[in-house]
Copies of this chain bind each other. A is one copy, B any other.
């Protein structure tokens, strides 16, 4: 299979997944800037000959993928989406991923997870980060880690309370910075019970 043919096969697969029915020659041609339907036809004829697709005579839009090409894509598709848990609350001293905390799941693209990262979702309470576009009710996507860089948006546990803030560490003086001018930066001293739960890597919001 040539690269061109593979691209076209992939496009057909995507098209069917997206629309529920296969593309016409012209739709394929438009996508690849092939101006003549005959140019498309020859690619499809090649794909048929090699056993990746099949078409029924005497009807239009009849391309369907064979098992041979499904096996080609299935591996990709399986690793394409990952479910991460949405946690209701994160309590101090308890493991973050404890089952009883899980309120639901969120589907994300697998490419967001690099290596062995642990991601989870968390519903945002309060309006302390609205100037960073994180609103009450939003779900933040959090990468589980216990360290942070300056200016990271983090999920922190401060005296038994979970909070979303920006992290700042200047001269070993740690502050949690809200993104809302009605709130003051929160200084963290050694008297506080403080730990970093994770770093916010994404935000997800749904309107009704």
- Tell whether A46 is near chain B: CB-to-CB under 8 Å: no
A30 interface neighbour in B27, B98, B133, B134, Cβ under 8 Å: B98
- Tell whether A64 is near chain B: CB-to-CB under 8 Å: yes
A27 near B99 with CB under 8 A, answer yes
B130 near A107 with CB under 8 A, answer no
Contact with B along A4-15 (1 / 0, CB 8 A): 000000010011
Minimal beta-carbon separation of A134 from chain B (angstroms): 7
A83 near B18 with CB under 8 A, answer yes
Please, which residues of chain B bring their CB within 8 A of the CB of A18?
A: 83-85
How far is A24 from B31 in the complex, measured between Cα atoms in Å?
24
Minimal beta-carbon separation of A132 from chain B (angstroms): 8
Please, which residues of chain B bring their CB within 8 A of the CB of A107?
A: 80-81, 107-109
Size of chain A's interface in residues, with CB distance under 8 A?
Answer: 52
B200 near A202 with CB under 8 A, answer no
Stretch at the interface among A36-44, A54-62, A157-165, A187-195: A54-62
How far is A49 from B199 in the complex, measured between Cα atoms in Å?
44
Minimal beta-carbon separation of A13 from chain B (angstroms): 11
- Tell whether A186 is near chain B: CB-to-CB under 8 Å: no
- Tell whether A19 is near chain B: CB-to-CB under 8 Å: yes
A positions within 8 Å CB-CB of B: 11, 14-24, 27, 30-31, 56, 59-65, 79-81, 83-85, 98-100, 105-109, 112, 130, 133-135, 138, 153, 200-207
List 6 other contacts, CB 8 Å, given A16-B20, A19-B56, A30-B99.
A17-B83, A18-B83, A31-B100, A61-B62, A107-B108, A203-B203
